[in-house]
């Protein structure tokens, strides 16, 4: 069980890392070509699309994962998958139409006239993007992680290629947005071809199945919508209070933070159907083991990568971007430290949903949204993008603390927090040490020493011997396997 889980996480993580690299490189190219102002307009367009898709999804993609895992050996399986696809396309068309019609109002709210035609253009992608989320959720529920990884990476590679072509021929930001639309449409066609052999499409019991999916999906929608708002309210508020240029600069630390969250996201992708299965079978010992392992591995990876970004962040920004982006460094440091807290729990982010309590997620997220909004309103006018980072980081830390407590209080799941406290303590110590000693010691020597010391601590102190062997074994399996998707 453990090896299969880690292997599945490996595939999900591999696809997430590749997707992260592709999207980040794409953002760097856009920043270098269009500078902070152009990147800000592009980022705001994509953020509006993300929020619109959230409304159109109504929690159905996440519900698809649960029902695909729960009914994969029963006849209802085909009805649930077919119903999810139909409803996602239907709701996607409705939301797409509303977004198209209200684009002038949105461009006025954020004082960015360029948004009007960009929002109109990107609205066409919503039905196809939702369809892709359903099909990927279906593959996730079946634990077809190779195919899941293929679909996840394929869309990003296609987006990168099309964006590059359209920029070269001089289509500017509209070309980059058009690339997004076309990549989602083509990916939808490919995913349909890949997944159709695993289920037969049917409209039988459509009404009955919809009545089952929508109530559960609506709870997931509340959980996901409050989560997405909490994660993006800082960018929205910067767009409202400040300028597209500020949105573009802040997009860099946000892109890095979002990218790193793909790691616990990959673990959550795998843990969700497993937790669902173990909870329904009442195998609580295995359930506790999966949750503990997911959180620990996520913490170790995120803490090391966050520390590297803090140490080398200024060098990376100056190497990749124009000097105007250097002001993104302090927000980056603030977000990276908080991300370690948040990302550890995000590896089992669907845990409450998998255990039939999605209401817990949206209640906790709702509290976080209110706090985040209030803090952004206070801090952004005073501290600018640094204030936005402080506001978001506060809720990044608050949510896991609450969730840790609720896991033990409601589900009686005992979580060993020694590794977390010890690991977080040394991360903070390393960061403080760096900022103090870099005035007297060659910064590159200091950065290298700190990185090596923390790597040793993470591998040989926080990881048990059997965990190290397990990771090495799975890594060898991943490297030796061919990418034979079909």
Higher pLDDT pick, 346 / 185: 185
- Closest C-alpha to 369, from 239, 229, 241: 229
pLDDT of residue 485: 35
pLDDT of residue 69: 64
CA distances from 142 to 67, 190, 220, 240 (A): 10, 18, 20, 42
Q: In this predicted model, what pLDDT tens digit does every residue of 72-129 receive, in sequence order?
A: 656 666 677 778 778 888 888 999 999 999 999 999 988 888 899 999 999 999 999 8
pLDDT of residue 183: 93
Percentage of residues in the chain having pLDDT higher than 90? 26
- Close Cβ partners of 267 (under 8 Å, ≥ 6 residues apart): 9, 12, 13, 294, 297, 298, 347, 348
**What average pLDDT does the segment 415-426 reach?**
77
Residue 71 pLDDT exceeds 70: no
pLDDT of residue 478: 45
pLDDT of residue 76: 65
d(CA 57, CA 46): 16
**What average pLDDT does the segment 222-228 reach?**
73
Higher pLDDT pick, 27 / 147: 27
Higher pLDDT pick, 347 / 44: 44
d(CA 56, CA 93): 8
Cβ atoms of 27 and 252 within 8 Å: the answer is yes
Mean pLDDT check: name the lowest of 224-228, 385-389, 446-450: 224-228
The DSSP symbol for 210 reads H
Banded model confidence at residue 296, pLDDT cuts 50, 70, 90? confident
pLDDT of residue 482: 41
**What average pLDDT does the segment 217-231 reach?**
73
Residue 200 pLDDT exceeds 70: no
């Amino acid at each position: 069980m453990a090896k299969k889980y880690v292997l599945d996480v490996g595939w999900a993580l591999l696809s997430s890392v590749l997707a992260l690299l592709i999207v980040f490189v794409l953002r760097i190219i856009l920043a270098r070509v269009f500078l902070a102002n152009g990147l800000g307009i592009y980022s705001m367009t994509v953020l509006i699309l993300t929020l619109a898709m959230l409304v159109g999804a109504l929690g159905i993609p996440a519900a698809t994962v649960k029902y695909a895992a729960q009914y994969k050996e029963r006849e209802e399986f085909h009805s649930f998958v077919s119903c999810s696809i139909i409803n996602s396309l239907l709701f996607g068309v409705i939301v797409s139409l509303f977004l198209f019609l209200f684009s002038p109002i949105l461009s006025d709210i954020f004082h960015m006239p360029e948004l009007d035609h960009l929002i109109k253009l990107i609205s066409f992608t919503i039905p196809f993007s939702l369809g892709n989320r359903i099909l990927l959720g279906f593959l996730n529920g079946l634990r077809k992680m190779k195919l899941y990884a293929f679909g996840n990476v394929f869309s990003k590679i296609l987006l990168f290629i099309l964006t590059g072509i359209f920029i070269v021929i001089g289509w500017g930001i509209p070309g980059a947005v058009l690339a997004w639309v076309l990549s989602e449409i083509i990916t939808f066609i490919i995913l349909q071809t890949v997944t159709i052999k695993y289920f037969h499409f049917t409209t039988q019991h459509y009404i009955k199945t919809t009545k089952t999916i929508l109530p559960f999906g609506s709870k997931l929608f509340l959980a996901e919508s409050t989560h997405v708002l909490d994660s993006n309210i800082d960018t929205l508020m910067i767009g409202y209070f400040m300028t597209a240029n500020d949105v573009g600069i802040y997009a860099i630390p946000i892109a890095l933070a979002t990218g790193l969250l793909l790691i616990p996201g990959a673990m959550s992708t795998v843990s969700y159907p497993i937790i669902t299965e173990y909870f329904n079978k009442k195998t609580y010992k295995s359930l506790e083991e999966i949750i503990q392992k997911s959180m620990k591995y996520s913490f170790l990876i995120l803490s090391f990568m966050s520390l590297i970004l803090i140490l080398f962040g200024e060098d990376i920004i100056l190497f990749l971007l124009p000097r105007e982006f250097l002001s993104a460094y302090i927000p980056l440091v603030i977000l990276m430290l908080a991300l370690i807290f948040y990302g550890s729990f995000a590896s089992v982010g669907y845990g409450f949903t998998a255990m039939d309590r999605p209401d817990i997620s949206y209640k906790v997220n709702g509290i976080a949204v209110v706090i985040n909004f209030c803090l952004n309103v206070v801090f952004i006018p005073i501290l600018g993008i640094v204030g936005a980072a402080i506001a978001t980081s506060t809720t990044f830390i608050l949510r896991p603390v609450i969730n840790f407590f609720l896991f033990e209080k409601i589900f009686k799941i005992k979580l060993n927090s020694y590794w977390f406290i010890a690991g977080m303590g040394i991360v903070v110590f390393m960061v403080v040490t760096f900022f103090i000693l870099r005035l007297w010691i060659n910064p590159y020597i200091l950065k290298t020493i700190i990185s090596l010391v923390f790597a040793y601590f993470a591998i040989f102190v926080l990881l048990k011997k059997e965990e190290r062997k397990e990771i090495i074994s799975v890594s060898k399996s991943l490297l030796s396997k061919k990418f034979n998707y079909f």
